[in-house]
Structure 1
Amino acid sequence: MKIDANLGSDLAGAPAAAADLEKEGYGGVWVAEAGSDPFLLSLQAISATESATVGTSVAIAFARTPMTLATVGFDLARHSRGRFVLGLGSQVKAHIERRYSMPWSRPAARMRELVLAMRAIWACWQDGERLDFQGDFYTHTLMTPFFAQQPHEYGPPPVYLAGVGRLMTEVAGEVADGFFVHPFTTERYLREVTLPALERGRAKAGEEGLGDFTVSGSCMIVTGRTDEEIAKATRGIKRQIAFYASTPAYRPVLDLHGFGDLQPELTALSKQGRWREMTDMISDDILDEFALTGAPEEIPAALRARIGDVCDRVSLYTPYRIDPALFTGFLAGGGTSR
């Protein structure tokens, strides 16, 4: 199981940060679409590293078209010499319509078609196939030599999709090369809902089991060296759980554990900006389902025990201030091998 790191949104500081992460032994560097353009961040990280996987986790798919995504993905695959992963997520309706001013409908079906459209564009560039993709959401039937990308030895990048619900997860299994497990998940949800949905998607694609399909986990971690650090970390993780739990689309995770009634209460509080009260509603029992708690040297073994048999890679999710030196211990104890 490879241990990955998340890069911040500081564009100017990205090269140095990415280089440091690779030097510390992380197997991959992921960038999110939050504050800065994820593809510019990826370019910076790629240019500053030599062997680490670099990818978007995630770029917002529905804020773009298959052609724009195919173009930047193909370019970064070339520039990285095959180290780039195009990670995509749907976001939610309000953000797509009101923040990006883009259309929203049938997100799972739209995502499936978007990936297939990208693959048709890449087949045109890489293999010389005629571009003739006509779907319900996207149509790409024109490609002239002036605008065509030149094929390269690394080919198109792997595509990973993110999701929580069954339908989007099935789509990932069917048309993608990997899947990002959302931080708002539990071991039980991963095993009982996510993995079966991925396998159903793989079966639709004529594949048996997950095979070379990559499952990339993201685990909330509560750690520190002092009681004060642990308390701050606990508060930070509970705040993040409350934020995610207020999203109606994520309620199935809560329902599986009998916490579903909490979701509408948190949603109502979020609309009033009562974030402190939301955090207070997250009990220690809920925390234990969603996060791993322990000293730095205990985390690698705990990660392996919880998800090591199902995740090929894992990112340590710490939405709170923490001494980066602690993560050296994670890598020393957990390594970057399967």
Structure 2
Amino acid sequence: MRIGLALGYHGEPMSQILPLVELADRIGVDSVWSVEEYGADGVSVLAYLAARTERIKLGTGILQLAGRTPANTAMTALTLDILSEGRLLLGLGVSVPWIVEGWHGVPYGKPLGRMREYVEILRKAIRCDERVTHHGEYYTLPYGQNRPVKALLDPVRTEIPIYVAGIGQGMVRLAGQIADGWLPGFYSPEREAVITAPLDQGIKQAGRNAADVDITIITHAIRTDDPAKARDELRPLYAAYIGPSRGKNTYYELAREIGFEKEAEIIREHHREGRRAEAIAAVPDALLDEVALFGPLPQIVDRLAAWRESRVGTLALITRDPKILEACLSSA
């Protein structure tokens, strides 16, 4: 199992991020992942880090489809790959309706169809060997009577690994069918048979092997002598994931599918009635203990055993603690 490092949503000062990323690069951490919501974008920081590192892979976790045309993402990916000399991992996601429609101002539409078309166009464009044509429900290239276009770049690679972020069963199946890697929403090694069932369905449907799809998890790692305090730090995040009931909530559905049906219902009910504190308090310890790493350093290292025995290929840690990176790297 590889160890990665994940950055934050809020555009942390580079003076805080850079020393840790440079350390990660030196000691052999496999990858560093940017994140993107509606704060910092998922590209700019990686371009900077490409110039300041030598070997660590650079992952976008994730670029939102609604914010970029497939052609724009292809140009961005090819450029980042050139700047990093072939170190890019291209993570993509459809995001959620309220961000797509509230921030990007475009219809959410049918996420599976959009993702399938997007990846198909990306792969054609990244090869840089033909004029790109596509005629689908969401994208038409060329538009109107204009001629198709080929990317004007000399690529380092004509195939860049594409990771699809997915939580709902349909998107997870699609990742199994078309992606080089899968980025789940949250993951429990103890319950991975349930979590990965749709992925395996997609892999089988496409005639692929499980080894064809790398599973990369982004999760929190907190070194503390007070595990209860760490759980309380994480509860608001998972309550915000599971609680919202407007439209389809795939986090809520996943929590139910892996055995937290009652707890998910309670969190949702509190959230629906505006009882935010109660919703946060209802996030179960068992869920947090399984999906994140926290506690004294020996406890974190011991917990890695369950992840090593799982199907996870890369465990990317949201941490700013170099001791966690060093200890996990030596134990992975």
Q: TM-score, normalization: structure 2? A: 0.86
Correspondence for 1:38 = 42
Query: What is the CA distance between 1:163 and its match in structure 2?
Result: 0.8
Correspondence for 1:253 = 254
Q: Establish whether residue 168 from structure 1 lines up as the match of residue 166 from structure 2.
A: no
Correspondence for 1:332 = 330
1:214 counterpart letter in structure 2? D
Query: What is the CA distance between 1:78 and its match in structure 2?
Result: 1.5
Number of aligned residue pairs: give it: 320
Correspondence for 1:185 = 187
Whole-Å separation in 2 of the counterparts to 1:331 and 1:81: 24
Q: Establish whether residue 55 from structure 1 lines up as the match of residue 59 from structure 2.
A: yes
> Which SS does the other structure have where 2:32 is aligned?
strand
Whole-Å separation in 2 of the counterparts to 1:49 and 1:62: 30
For the 8 Å contact 1:3–1:28, the answer to whether it is kept is yes
Query: What is the CA distance between 1:51 and its match in structure 2?
Result: 0.4
2:194 counterpart letter in structure 1? E
Whole-Å separation in 2 of the counterparts to 1:97 and 1:189: 33
1:3 counterpart letter in structure 2? I
Which of 10, 15, 21 aligns to 1:18? It is 21
Whole-Å separation in 2 of the counterparts to 1:325 and 1:189: 28
Give unpaired runs (5+ residues) of structure 2: none
Query: What is the CA distance between 1:316 and its match in structure 2?
Result: 2.3
Correspondence for 1:84 = 88
1:206 counterpart letter in structure 2? G
Whole-Å separation in 1 of the counterparts to 2:273 and 2:315: 34
Whole-Å separation in 2 of the counterparts to 1:252 and 1:24: 38
Whole-Å separation in 1 of the counterparts to 2:269 and 2:119: 35
Whole-Å separation in 2 of the counterparts to 1:2 and 1:43: 22
> Which SS does the other structure have where 2:92 is aligned?
strand
Note the aligned Cα RMSD (angstroms): 2.5
Correspondence for 1:232 = 229
Whole-Å separation in 2 of the counterparts to 1:274 and 1:48: 46
1:305 counterpart letter in structure 2? A
Q: TM-score, normalization: structure 1? A: 0.84
Correspondence for 1:71 = 75
Q: Establish whether residue 151 from structure 1 lines up as the match of residue 154 from structure 2.
A: yes
Correspondence for 1:243 = 240
Whole-Å separation in 1 of the counterparts to 2:176 and 2:242: 25
For the 8 Å contact 2:220–2:293, the answer to whether it is kept is yes
Correspondence for 1:304 = 305
Per-residue Cα deviation, 1:6-42 (whole angstroms, up to 9, x for no partner) = 1242364354442233234321110001421211011
Correspondence for 2:314 = 313
Percentage of identical aligned residues:
28
> Which SS does the other structure have where 2:174 is aligned?
helix
> Which SS does the other structure have where 2:300 is aligned?
helix
